[in-house]
Structure 1
Amino acid sequence: MRVFAGICLGLALAACANSGSDDGVDTARLLAANETPGEWLSVGRTYDEQRYSPLDAINRDNVSELGLAWFADLDTARGQEATPLMIDGVLYVSTAWSMVKAYDARSGELLWSYDPEVPRERVVMACCDAVNRGVAAWGNRLFVGTLDGRLVALDRATGEEAWSVVTVDQEQPYTITGAPRIIDGKVIIGNGGAEYGVRGYVTAYDADNGEQLWRFYTVPDNPANGEQPEYLQAAAETWHGEWWELGGGGTVWDSMAYDPELDLLYIGVGNGSPWNQAYRSPAPEGEDVNNDNLYLSSIVAIRPDTGEYVWHFQETPGETWDFTATQHMILADLEIDGETRHVLMQAPKNGFFYVIDRETGEFISANNYVPMNWATGVDPETGRPIENPEARYDRTGLPFLSMPGAGGAHNWHPMAYDPNSGLVFIPAAEAAFPYFPEADWLPAVLGFNVGIDMAAGAMPADAGARAGAMAATRGALIAWDPVAQEERWRVQYQGPWNGGVLATGGGLVFQGSAAGNFAAFSTEDGSELWSMPVQTGVVAAPMTYEIDGEQYVAVLAGWGGVWSMAPGLLASTSGVLPNISRLLVFKIGGTAELPDAADYPQLALDPPPQRGTPEQIAEGGYLFGRYCGACHGDAAIAGTIVPDLRRSGTLENSESWNAVVMDGALASRGMVSFSPVLSAEQAQAIRHYVIARAHQDRDLEAAGG
């Protein structure tokens, strides 16, 4: 399970990278992270997750001299979303497929590499690529969650596996993509899978041996299973029907933060399963019916020692749009109305920027940071969104084109907070999504179980409609004043899904873009002070460290994630570049150079003759939207990570197609057999649909559309 390269043995271990010379990472060291700003000990650098470094050797005056110090090519061409750690001269980073690598932070020498050998077919249960967002450190070990639901402890000096525990029921479609958090020797990890039908929770494990210490569920269980904790009994009053049969959702798949003074761990809770609340929690008629579905789309404060519930704040009650609250949270002290408030800040998917009291969960303020139409504002007393009734497609039964959409106004990409300017820097997106309620929907064992018709809202084969959708889809780096609740400046991007953010004491904000640039902006006004083309899209957040008085900035490059797959045309025409997975490290005066970029010629659309009947094509379109579109793109228009089926050689004959779709001939690449949910005839209907789409788009290209 392990592959080692350049391992230092015996006395040479400490000399090669100081990797064994420290006393380990403990509570005192994590609490004092600001006193050792040259290191990056946890995924957000500090427990407050501000992603701000006081290092200022790289600053506005000299950032124009920034150059590449070294780079390392990675052995996977999937999305790269992790933030590296730097401890005692060693960079530790997780990559796609939950692999972990250690590099000498000065030279880039690979010290060791660990592969948990995640079964590639597991990716069919991951909504958003085979990504991983980082590792955690405690003692002399590293901890990583794997896509197939394990939590693994590694020796930090060698990469040897110390222990491994399975944290999920692997028969269910659970995944792990988020970084663990560690508090006083307890490793805390969540999971994903709400799009497929699971129940969310977080679990704490003993860092020494992997023993489970506690588990906190985010949605109530089947009442027939016995008495539940008081907080879940209260939540059950806000659910209806037999939600447990569909999973319920509420997975904690990314963000957490910790306040050591209050001893509170904050977790962000995800969307419902399925999205469509009419199926998930069908409420009886009546004005007084509470159908909020706690604790979906909520921030929940719990005690890290015991998993005890303390308080919650729900951002999207009764969510039905995939509006998660799993986005990056930041803790800070702000002066509001002449009083210092200890706050938690979040810009979740629903488009409102929230400031809440982190001791009590009391709502302080909120405002929308992107244009929206699903709500008109929030109640100034409670913070509850004031919904547009038309947005409730689950109640009206009518389609609704929502802004923001399911991808969110801000997704997992980390924000940053600069205490000097008081600004939060948000990697934002402006993208709509069409919600088409589906009559007589039933869950399935494979594919998105979201309760809407994904085919009905597919990108039309009309040049004007496509142009309009592309024009309305864009991204931005927004500098947000959390006290005034207003934008101070923005950097506009052609498309969404740009990188996470780092703020530094040098008055700089670093961010990569989907279009393949890594740049530094002034925190003062957003002016671009330096940039470098890096040959691929950047979605991960940068970090910075210092060795021997020299400051470095590091970032993982490699386009991927859900936007590289599901949006199809919107992804492939947003100026993005193919995936080239690399770790890039910069310093003042760096002279390293990337190799010449390879050419990636696009194959011509040359489909076989169209022989499917209109009925077959229509059925295939529905099935494609239900089972295939999440990976292979809206309307069969691929993004940049997986093959474009319109150009696939398997379209030529039914045997080749069924070998892949029904027999699982490419399971080792993640394309599992869909025989549990499709008949051979249905698989052929999908083939006829893809052929028809290829003909439509070839004709559109020929007409100049």
Structure 2
Amino acid sequence: MKSATGRLHKKRLLCSIASTFALALASCTTAGGESAPVGAIAASADPLANPAAGEWTSDGRDYTAQRFSPLTQVNAQNVSQLGLAWYADLDTYRGVEATPLYADGVLYNTLSWNITTAYDAKTGAVLWTYDPKTPREFGRYACCEPVSRGLAMSGDKVIIATLDGRLIALNKDTGAELWNTRTFELDSGYAYSITGAPRVFGDKVVVGQSGGDLGVRGFASAYDVETGEEVWKFYLTPNPDDMPDGEASDSANAMMRATWSDEGMWRQLGGGANPWDAIAYDPELNLVYVGTGNSVPHARYYRSNNEGDNLFVCSIVALDADSGEYRWHYQMNPGEEWDWTCTASMISADLEIEGETRQVLMQAPKNGFFYVLDRATGEFISAGAHVFQNWNEGFDANGRPITSDAVRYDETPKLVAPGPGGAHNWFPMAFSPRTGLAYFPAYQSAFVYALQPGWEPQPMRSNSGWGGYTGEAGRIRGELMAEANAVEAAWLAAWDPVKQELAWKVELPRHGNGGVMVTASDLVFEGTTKQTFAAFNAHDGSLLWEYPTQSAPVAGAITYEIDGEQYIAINAGWGGGAAQIERGAGIEMPRAPARLLVFKLGGNLTLPPLPENAAAPPEPPRLAASEERVAHGQLLFQQTCAVCHGQNAIGGVKDLRHMDRDTHGKFDQIVLEGLYLDKGMANFSDILSQEDADAIHAYVIARANEDWGR
């Protein structure tokens, strides 16, 4: 459904493209203790813009997405009395990344495969459960497990977005399906999926999609919240056929297209820029902000002949909420080729900067900088590096980053910081209007990048174009990775967005510390990779309370009030990309299955003890394959299997080095026949031959023999 207003806006913007074209090619393009609140936005009649103090009705609590609660019953003086009020076993070892929602006495939660449950928020009694029967084969398209980062609410509806691309509205009281809309076609030729939360903005629900590592053409789309009918769609890379799409993005297509080479694999792989998580909204400006993902293939040499900014990869794009028309953009990384994304939380606030109150949009994306932009125009205000980085040599007068040639890689490996895991990934950020600080988990890292000579894209697989793992390049890589390992560190950061400096930090172990929530009693709550849920003083970072959760909570917490009591809820379900990194490092901790944990003052429940530690890995079969077959299997593994089973076959969802004899005997059935489809392990016979499967199996056996007994 396309509105007449939207078509009129499209015509007007088409007429203005020529006059603004030169500016549009720039990185930033515009269209025009107790402390006083410094980040408040004017209230709106929309209940999602101004929820009751004790409610949490959208992913970031309200449209500012500050994840700031006005509740104060739990404070620095009594937080030590927090205890477990109730918990729900979620019956999965998969990652659980969703922020729950709360309204009218009911807590709503969603898991991997989009299974959604409503609980009595006071007792934990299950009121209803809805299973959308997400096809398990879609697990192969999810880079970092088939997770869901949340759900949305509107009036009498709870809205979920499924891994296989459906947007479904449920009656919030009964779980009955109200409408069901497909957001992408299954035969599109692209490996689309959805792992991010849908967002309701006024009378529309907006959603993006995942799949950028495999090859997609990213887009954001909006639907009528009452009917599920499509209202607008905006593609975030140009049409590969140089033709109009008949969508809201047509008016910006020429601008995008001018930043891509006439040559390159972006035409067949889509270019990327998929908005796989954060999407934000300002109801007064009537703008939807879309944070976009990485490019595909990752290497710009293969993607776009080493040419162009490649709009809109790794950008924030502002769209008219009614029509979906382009309004402005800021690109954090022109010509992105390091798997950096700009899909982290986007927070709105009004900040006093150099004596002037500015309406700002804040984001800390993967590239290691904290950005402050004018949210009305997209004007670059400031940015500061919050971790070690070596890619940025400053910003020009227009706010365009100056990218160092030292990180533009070829067949000779280059050390780049941050690494592809990002200095701040999807884990939700919070902002306190009382302290004026933003709080988020930071990860200092580096990685070695190089081109793979003669690389050819593989449909429906990870498409990076990266190489340099063997020979002289492999030797250089090994030396540089030792430098990368030396800088690795993680912490909870409190960042001053006005001064662009660190206010305080709390050192934490390993990548993957969870999303953050802050309250008006100046408490910062975060799950940690110590397998704890913790409360910190918002002013100085001092630890005030910590609870052992038996699994690292990576999701964002919420707080709500019912019958005069304040509750705090968090999903504790270690998984996703961070877990794969930890498993790859061989430091995974024993853990319990995922749980939803709910705390209150005086809560006195206890968790059952952890299961006994798993036995040592079994002795692997002897390697009988030739060196050539193992090398071929290594290449196929990196292209096809590593997204789920770890680089170099270490860790991942299932560490294949630790297969027992029985599983080795079923290898072909698992890979080529879909024996474990119900567990999310797809049938790969459409892209792997028997010879390919044998080579991958040989490589896995080789890796198991190399590392057995470590």
* TM-score, structure 2 normalization: 0.89
**CA 1:602 to 1:488, structure 2 compared with 1: closer, same or farther past 3 Å?**
farther
Q: Residue type matched to 2:290 in 1?
A: I
Structure 2 equivalent of residue 30 of structure 1: 48
Shift of 1:136: 0.8
Structure 2 equivalent of residue 536 of structure 1: 551
Shift of 1:230: 2.5
Shift of 1:219: 1.0
Matched, 1:690 2:708: no
Q: 2:627 is matched with which residue: 614, 618, 623?
A: 614
Matches within 5 A, 1:492-507: 492-507=507-522
Structure 1 equivalent of residue 227 of structure 2: 209
Matches within 5 A, 1:41-440: 41-171=57-187, 172-226=190-244, 229-240=250-261, 241-242=263-264, 243-283=266-306, 291-376=308-393, 378-393=394-409, 396-440=410-454
What is the SS of the residue equivalent to 2:702?
helix
Shift of 1:567: 6.2
Matched, 1:659 2:669: yes
Structure 2 equivalent of residue 580 of structure 1: 593
Matched, 1:604 2:617: yes
CA contact (8 A) 1:567 1:634 kept: no
Q: Residue type matched to 2:214 in 1?
A: Y
CA contact (8 A) 1:651 1:687 kept: no
Q: Residue type matched to 1:626 in 2?
A: Q
Residues 512-566 of structure 1: per-residue CA shift (max 9 Å, x gap): 0123100000011101000010101110010101112211110011001112236
Structure 2 equivalent of residue 669 of structure 1: 679
Residues 419-447 of structure 1: per-residue CA shift (max 9 Å, x gap): 11110001111222222211111111232
Residues 346-395 of structure 1: per-residue CA shift (max 9 Å, x gap): 0000111100100110000011111112223x3152332222212111xx
CA contact (8 A) 1:128 1:561 kept: yes
What is the SS of the residue equivalent to 2:491?
strand
Residues 3-60 of structure 1: per-residue CA shift (max 9 Å, x gap): xxxxxxxxxxxxxxxxxxxxxxx96312322xx1100111100101000011111011
**CA 1:459 to 1:507, structure 2 compared with 1: closer, same or farther past 3 Å?**
farther
Q: Residue type matched to 1:209 in 2?
A: T
Q: Residue type matched to 1:445 in 2?
A: P
**CA 1:466 to 1:407, structure 2 compared with 1: closer, same or farther past 3 Å?**
closer
CA contact (8 A) 2:364 2:371 kept: yes
Matched, 1:477 2:492: yes
Residues 286-334 of structure 1: per-residue CA shift (max 9 Å, x gap): xxxxx00111111111111110111001100010111111110100011
Shift of 1:624: 1.5
Q: Distance between the aligned counterparts of 2:415 and 2:570, measured in 1?
A: 35
Q: Distance between the aligned counterparts of 1:115 and 1:648, measured in 2?
A: 31
Q: Residue type matched to 1:596 in 2?
A: P
CA contact (8 A) 1:501 1:510 kept: yes
Q: Distance between the aligned counterparts of 2:530 and 2:185, measured in 1?
A: 38
**CA 1:345 to 1:208, structure 2 compared with 1: closer, same or farther past 3 Å?**
same
**CA 1:341 to 1:94, structure 2 compared with 1: closer, same or farther past 3 Å?**
same
Shift of 1:89: 0.7
Q: Distance between the aligned counterparts of 1:70 and 1:567, measured in 2?
A: 29
Structure 2 equivalent of residue 5 of structure 1: none
Q: Distance between the aligned counterparts of 1:195 and 1:629, measured in 2?
A: 12
CA contact (8 A) 1:371 1:404 kept: yes
Matched, 1:549 2:564: yes
Shift of 1:586: 0.5
CA contact (8 A) 1:617 1:688 kept: yes
RMSD between superposed Cα atoms in Å: 2.2
Shift of 1:451: 1.6
Higher relative contact order (CA 8 A, sep 6+): 2
**CA 1:369 to 1:696, structure 2 compared with 1: closer, same or farther past 3 Å?**
same
Q: Distance between the aligned counterparts of 1:439 and 1:695, measured in 2?
A: 29
Residues 607-654 of structure 1: per-residue CA shift (max 9 Å, x gap): 111212222222222222221111111211114xx222112135886x
Structure 1 equivalent of residue 23 of structure 2: none
Q: Distance between the aligned counterparts of 2:439 and 2:374, measured in 1?
A: 20
Shift of 1:568: 4.3
Q: Distance between the aligned counterparts of 2:225 and 2:204, measured in 1?
A: 6
The number of aligned residues is: 658
Q: Residue type matched to 1:132 in 2?
A: S
Q: Distance between the aligned counterparts of 1:102 and 1:456, measured in 2?
A: 51
Q: Residue type matched to 2:253 in 1?
A: L
Q: Residue type matched to 1:529 in 2?
A: L
CA contact (8 A) 2:366 2:424 kept: yes
Q: Distance between the aligned counterparts of 1:581 and 1:197, measured in 2?
A: 31
Q: Distance between the aligned counterparts of 1:607 and 1:184, measured in 2?
A: 57
What is the SS of the residue equivalent to 1:70?
strand
Shift of 1:689: 1.7
Matched, 1:513 2:536: no
Q: Distance between the aligned counterparts of 2:375 and 2:461, measured in 1?
A: 37
Q: Residue type matched to 1:300 in 2?
A: V
Q: Residue type matched to 1:608 in 2?
A: P
**CA 1:652 to 1:189, structure 2 compared with 1: closer, same or farther past 3 Å?**
closer
Structure 2 equivalent of residue 589 of structure 1: 602
What is the SS of the residue equivalent to 2:571?
strand
Shift of 1:170: 1.5
Q: Distance between the aligned counterparts of 1:621 and 1:55, measured in 2?
A: 53
* TM-score, structure 1 normalization: 0.90
Shift of 1:600: 3.0
Shift of 1:663: 2.5
Name whichever of 240-249 and 251-260 sits farther off. 240-249
**CA 1:64 to 1:475, structure 2 compared with 1: closer, same or farther past 3 Å?**
same
What is the SS of the residue equivalent to 2:554?
coil
What is the SS of the residue equivalent to 1:615?
helix
5+ long unaligned stretches in structure 2? 1-43
**CA 1:154 to 1:51, structure 2 compared with 1: closer, same or farther past 3 Å?**
same
5+ long unaligned stretches in structure 1? 1-25, 285-290
**CA 1:73 to 1:455, structure 2 compared with 1: closer, same or farther past 3 Å?**
farther
Q: Distance between the aligned counterparts of 1:436 and 1:553, measured in 2?
A: 45
Shift of 1:471: 5.3
What is the SS of the residue equivalent to 1:556?
strand
Q: Distance between the aligned counterparts of 2:217 and 2:499, measured in 1?
A: 37
Q: Distance between the aligned counterparts of 1:48 and 1:486, measured in 2?
A: 22
Instruction: State percent identity of aligned pairs.
Output: 47
**CA 1:226 to 1:207, structure 2 compared with 1: closer, same or farther past 3 Å?**
closer
Q: Distance between the aligned counterparts of 1:652 and 1:364, measured in 2?
A: 56
Residues 484-526 of structure 1: per-residue CA shift (max 9 Å, x gap): 1000111111101110000001111000012310000001110
